[in-house]
Amino acid sequence: MLIEDFVISKLNSFEAVVSWTSANVTDVSWIYSDGGLARGPLYLETLERKMTIPFVENVTKAIEVHDFLTGSTVTPTIEIMPNITPTITWKSVQDAARYKVFHTPFGGSEELIYNRLAEEDKLDYLIVLRTDLPVGWNFFRVESVDEFGNESVRSNWNFLVFDLPAPADDLAIVDGSGAGLFDIAIT
């Protein structure tokens, strides 16, 4: 059963708490995020349920919570979202004074997209990329710069952007074989 009444509360920059009320104490819970399994199966043995999930600050996510009776067939996620907000993460370097991130679209010119001072005692860095990346291959690299201006490449990434398919011309939806089920056909 899809739980439509749940609450998401920010815990920190990388996590959130999902809270909901289950219909039965013995229900098994599954939490999906952007079409992928975030947590589950969860045997929480209570009606009032809470679970911490990965949740990057300022990033849109499609969250689904499903509860099923023990032993029932688990249905797949309903919402499958394309990855339109890629993220880049890297580990800090002991002597880094600043970090730079460069972007190069396939066949294009390199552009500086991030240039910030290194933060003391910060071990991991994460940036969310803009969503208007051109279709095709996009290349990223992170440089660390020490206090004397010496640069060294920390990491390189390749990211492939697909153009979304055109919407269906004719979509037919009819009652399915049971309550709450529908048959969907694209003609």
Closest CA to 30 of 41, 20, 18, 45: 41
Could you tell me the pLDDT band of residue 112, with boundaries at 50, 70 and 90? very high
- Please tell me the pTM assigned to this model: 0.47
> In what helix (H) or strand (E) does residue 149 lie, and over which residues does it extend?
none
Rg (Cα) of the chain, in Å, rounded? 22
115 and 45 Cβ atoms separated by less than 8 Å: no
User: Taking the CB of residue 66, how many other CB atoms lie within 10 A of it?
Assistant: 19
Same fold, 2-81 and 87-161: yes
Q: Give residue 76's pLDDT.
A: 62
CA distance 84 to 124: 22
Could you tell me the pLDDT band of residue 187, with boundaries at 50, 70 and 90? low
pLDDT, one tens digit per residue, over 143-167 is: 999 999 898 887 788 888 877 666 6
- Given the candidates 3.30.70.2740, 1.25.40.80, 3.40.50.360, 2.60.40.10, the CATH classification of the domain at 87-161 is 2.60.40.10
Q: Give residue 58's pLDDT.
A: 64
Q: Look at residue 173 and tell me whether its pLDDT is greater than 90.
A: no
Q: Give residue 110's pLDDT.
A: 92
Please give the structure tokens belonging to residue 105.
């679209």
Q: Look at residue 176 and tell me whether its pLDDT is greater than 70.
A: yes
Q: Give residue 79's pLDDT.
A: 55
User: Taking the CB of residue 102, how many other CB atoms lie within 10 A of it?
Assistant: 17
Q: Give residue 84's pLDDT.
A: 58
The 3-state DSSP composition of the chain as helix, strand, coil percent (nearest 5) reads 0, 50, 50
- Please report, for the chain, the start and end positions of each structural domain, with discontinuous segments joined by +: 2-81, 87-161
33 and 62 Cβ atoms separated by less than 8 Å: yes
DSSP per-residue letters across 65-80: EEEE-TTPPPPPPS--
Q: Give residue 109's pLDDT.
A: 93
What is the rounded average pLDDT of the residues 10-35?
84
46 HSE (CA, 13 A, CB side): 7
11 and 56 Cβ atoms separated by less than 8 Å: no
pLDDT, one tens digit per residue, over 52-110 is: 888 876 666 778 888 887 766 666 666 555 555 678 888 888 889 999 999 999 889 99
Domain 2-81 top-level CATH class: mainly beta
CA distance 40 to 112: 40
